[in-house]
Amino acid sequence: MNKFISAIIICLFSFAAEAQTVKLLNSGSKASLRGLSVVSDDVVWVSGSAGSVGRSVDGGETWNWTTVKGFEKTDFRDIEAFDKNTAIIMGIADPAYILKTTDGGQNWKIVFTDTTKGMFLDAMEFWNEQSGIVIGDPLGDKIFIARTFDGGENWQGIPAANIPAADKGEAFFASSGTNVRKLSKQEAVLVSSSLRDRLFIRNKKIDLPIIQGKESTGANSMAVKNKKCLVVVGGDFNTRDDTTKNCVITNDGGKTFTAPVVGPHGYRSCVEYLGKKNWISCGLNGVDYSTDEGQNWVWISKDSFHAVRKAKKGKTVYFSGGGGSIGKLLLD
């Protein structure tokens, strides 16, 4: 009887997993797209290599592409959009830039520049349309953090005395713009990678039991359900199919971590919380979906993506990746 019930549960779980599929969209771009911001079910912005920024206002059916003038060689690895007209893009290095548009990408204004040697921006996060944060790799032993309180028009660096110190070889991966997340009102959580992986919450530094120790390994992304429940994913981007210590879960705000029963099926660069007990993660060898708080992950697609984000005002989930790849999650 128990075996019969278990078989039914497995079948139901498999059926639920099969109900999620990924539809590839015709983006018309060949850029590597790591920046992804989903405003609503219809309005989606992406950004990436060669100064590329794309926007759709019809749910991904058609795309308008811009190569930002004067930034043709810049890699815009993160983007934050607020509506069909307003967006902020982050250029990672040499020098580091942040730009803003208020006319749908026709014109861009530089709102932040840093020419410091070694400056490398990794990700942005916004609590609302006014208040945001950007993080970068450590300069010396201090993580770079700047804040904006006026919708990205101005950015102020956080005083070094208020910034946590990083260990030698500790940095951040600029893989999907999701290694900094809002945790609560005006509070953020950061996840570091490479030679050492930790969560940073204000003055707390929490070691992560995730793969680390090489420049290609570590935590790439985290998603937040609430202040207690977080999921962190990563791996080794040089071995995309390796599942070794590529996902950890905490349900007590980082006091303890557990590994999934069945983890994501390879290196993962992004994870997103979708609501209820549902989570989604993507990487170079595909997409995984969990319906049980990240305990079991089902490989629903072998399409390669860098980032996955859910609509801020809606339910639609989009993906972005290399070679202009853009996808959309379909729930049957």
pLDDT in tens, 134-152: 999 999 899 999 999 999 9
77 falls within a domain: yes
- Which residue reads 């992986």 in tokens? 197
Indicate the average pLDDT of the chain: 93
The pLDDT > 90 percentage for the chain reads 87
Which pLDDT band holds residue 162 (cuts at 50, 70, 90)?
confident
For residues 307 and 327, the answer to whether their CB atoms sit within 8 Å is: no
Q: Render pLDDT for 244-258 as a digit per residue (tens, 0 to 9).
A: 999 999 999 999 999
Owner of token pair 């950007």: 134
Q: Residue 279, exposed/middle/buried by CB under 10 A (0-12, 13-18, 19+)?
A: buried
Strand 317-320, strand 198-201: pairing: unpaired
pLDDT of residue 164: 84
Q: Does the pLDDT at position 26 exceed 80?
A: yes
19 within some domain: no
Instruction: Give the phi and the psi of residue 18 in degrees, each rounded to 5.
Output: -70, -15
Residue 120 belongs to domain with CATH number:
2.130.10.10
Structural tokens at position 254:
């980082």
Domain count, the chain: 1
Residue 7 scores a pLDDT above 60 = no
The confidence score (pLDDT) of residue 12 equals: 43
Pick from 103, 54, 96: nearest CA to 75? 96
Domain assignment of residue 10, yes or no: no
Return the sign of the alpha-carbon dihedral for residues 306, 309, 315, 316: negative
Check residues 10 and 26 and name the one with the higher pLDDT: 26
pLDDT at 4: 41
pLDDT band at residue 161, thresholds of 50, 70 and 90?
confident
Q: What is the mean pLDDT of residues 282-306?
A: 98
pLDDT above 70 (res 9): no
Residue 50's domain comprises: 27-331
Model confidence pLDDT, tens digit, residues 180-229: 999 998 899 999 998 999 999 988 999 999 999 999 999 999 999 999 99
Q: Is 235 contained in some domain? A: yes
The secondary element (H helix, E strand) that includes residue 234 is strand 230-236
- To the nearest 10°, report the CA torsion of 304, 327, 281, 293: -150
Q: For residue 273, is it within any domain?
A: yes
Q: Is residue 95 part of a domain?
A: yes
Tokens 């729930």, residue located: 331
Cα angle at 29 between 25 and 35, to 5 degrees?
Answer: 80
- b/e per residue 131-149 (b: at least 16 CB within 10 A): bbbbbbbbbeebbbbbebe
The answer to whether residue 117 is domain-embedded is yes
* Prediction pTM value: 0.93
Q: Please indicate, yes or no, if residue 261 is contained in any of the structural domains.
A: yes
Residues 14-28 have a mean pLDDT of 75
CA distance 266 to 173: 17
Q: Give mean pLDDT, residues 26-37.
A: 95
Q: What is the pLDDT of residues 67-96, one digit of tens each?
A: 999 999 999 999 999 999 999 999 999 899
Q: What's the token pair of residue 79?
A: 């983007």
| pLDDT bucket at 332, cuts 50 / 70 / 90 | low
| Bridge partners of residue 88, in order along the sequence | 80, 100
Neighbours of 58 (CB within 10 A): 10
> Measuring CA to CA, how many Å separate 7 from each of 263, 291, 294?
21, 18, 21
Banded pLDDT at 275 (limits 50, 70, 90): very high
- Band of the pLDDT at 3, cuts 50, 70, 90? very low
DSSP assignment of 250-306, as one string?
Answer: ESSTTS--B--SB--SS--SEEEEEETTEEEEEETTEEEEESSTTSB-EEEE----S
The CA distances from residue 316 to 1, 28, 42, 109, 253, in Å, are 40, 21, 8, 30, 28
Give the highest mean pLDDT range of 18-22, 27-31, 283-287: 283-287
CB 268 within 8 A of CB 283: yes
Cα angle, residue 327 at apex, residues 329 and 265 outer, rounded to 5°: 75
